[in-house]
Chain A
Amino acid sequence: MTTQQEVPTPASPFHGNVGPIVNEVVHALDKLLETDIPTTIDLASLPFGPGELEYLEATLGTGELSAELDALGTSRIRETAYPGVWWLEHRNAHDEVVGRYLEITRTPEILSSQDADIVVGRARLGDQIK
């Protein structure tokens, strides 16, 4: 099980706003492992000084899997170097960031094929073979 000791809290060279978030991620990983309940951290609601968001991103690193979603603008979904910790960035049609989240989960919900889309897709495929 992941513990706080295994993920070092970075000594932020900036304003000290990154460390608490990394601690929150550690706690969220514990919760995921113990209760299977995912956590989403909305980074837009937290204070960041210049460079701190980039520092957080660099601290969490890049893992094995990344995906790009093209729906109402581009979204980038990337597992960080810490399994179960995902970095999500939503952009609008003008390529402006409209949401930035950390999801502590096994698979972000947005990666799953959705029933409503499957129904529409199945109908389209059915039409093709008529």
Chain B
Amino acid sequence: MKKRPTVGEILQAKGVSRRGFLKYCATTASILALPPSMIPRIAEAIENARRPSVIWLSFQECTGCTESLTRSAAPTVEGLIFDAISLDYHHTLQAAAGEQAEAARHAAMEENKGEYLVLVDGSIPLANKGYSTIAGMSNVDMLEETVAGAKAVVAIGSCAAFGGIPGADPNPTGAVSVMDLVTDKPVINVPGCPPIPMVMTAVLTQFLTFGTLPDLDKHGRPMAFYGTTIHDRCYRRPFYEQGKFAETFDDEGAKAGWCLYKLGCKGPITYNACATTKWNNGTSFPIEAGHPCLGCSEPGFWDMGGFYEPLSTGKFDSGERLAGAAAAGVALGVAAAAAGRRKQSKFAKEG
């Protein structure tokens, strides 16, 4: 295996000062959702970290996840890609094509056997292997071949993590997720449609920094970013507690920025970091733009009923989790749930 330079060596060669390095470490701590007190340890770890090899496989996907990552303002994501990791294979970003590209993938696998990371976006069709191929190789075969020597696999986006749109009913291609196929390696799910860029870089950064993989929840998602619901961290939460809800998209409540629960917001049962990390360089997130959370980082969210039906109509998720959401909202949440049920009855009568 070629000895890769450490990040400290790379930064030194680029003439980055210690101050610059400390700044890099501070933003890295922020990305990893670690307390600032961890910055000295991060600095030590990063200085001695060696660039990991990364192979990115794109299957049944829309390239939205790559678009999201490459627009990340997270600590120099361009630096992360080009300096801190060795991105050895990525259809959209690599210059090589055809046989040369496949040769690069095989070379990276050979040189970094047992150590490289495989990132996957898109689901994998099983109904017919020919539905999606790359260089004449089916997605499932390429995944199996590439993952065989990997240290871990990161499923980027809801398609790779849970099947996503291709896997939605009636699932014409027989699409499955990465974790449906990879059972002998650690699989980290980074769902979202697309995932938050910072979350994607955080997983890579943690691996780069500490050589470890993040703690995961029951759906294989990093706890640091998927440990709390959108609702838990939503700036409109105080309105939920006060029982102030927008009833339509253009009423006074909507204009005043009140809670969007009755308009179908899935924030109470959606685990993601949008409410604090936000999008577009921290500009806002869907709820801040006046639209309910769709729950895009939850398994099977496409098939969970209407996006604009309140949670209390009971279509989106199990009663167990809804009960948790209702408990968090105490009496006012219950009132909203009752209103939602009335709305559901109205739909039923009209339907």
Contacts and interface: CB of A to CB of B under 8 A. Distances in A.
B19 A110 contact: yes
Interface in B275-292: 275-277, 281-282, 284, 288
A73 to B, nearest CB: 8
A93 interface: yes
A94 interface: yes
Interface string A51-65: 010000000000000
Contacts of A71: 16-17, 19-20, 23
B23 A69 contact: yes
Contacts of B35: 42
A102 B29 CA distance: 14
Given A15-B236, A40-B36, A49-B236, A99 B22 contact: no
B276 A50 contact: no
A72 B14 CA distance: 10
Contacts of B19: 69, 71, 110, 114, 117
Interface stretch (B70-78, B114-122, B152-160, B165-173): B70-78
Contact of B276 (A16, A44, A116): A44
B18 interface: yes
Nearest to B281: A96
A42 B288 contact: no
Contacts of B308: none
B292 to A, nearest CB: 16
A42 B39 CA distance: 12
A99 B26 contact: yes
B23 A17 contact: no
Given A15-B257, A40-B36, A117-B18, A98 B276 contact: no
Contacts, number: 92
B281 A47 contact: no
Given A52-B235, A110-B19, A94 B33 contact: no
A90 B19 CA distance: 12
A92 interface: yes
Nearest to B26: A99
A96 B198 CA distance: 13
Contacts of A98: 27, 30, 73-76
Interface string B290-304: 000000000000000
A96 B73 CA distance: 6
A82 interface: no
Contacts of B22: 109-110, 114
Interface in A2-43: 14-17, 40, 42
Contacts of A93: 76
A3 B224 CA distance: 33
A40 B39 CA distance: 11
Contacts of A101: 26, 30, 36
A45 interface: yes
B17 A117 contact: yes
Contacts of B276: 44-47
Given A52-B235, A96-B281, A90 B26 contact: yes
B282 A50 contact: no
Given A17-B238, A92-B76, A101-B26, 20 more contacts: A15-B257, A40-B37, A42-B30, A44-B282, A47-B233, A47-B237, A47-B275, A49-B236, A49-B257, A72-B16, A72-B76, A90-B27, A93-B76, A98-B74, A98-B75, A99-B27, A101-B30, A110-B26, A114-B18, A114-B22
15 contacts: A17-B238, A42-B30, A47-B275, A50-B288, A71-B16, A72-B16, A72-B23, A72-B76, A75-B23, A93-B76, A110-B19, A110-B23, A110-B26, A114-B18, A114-B22
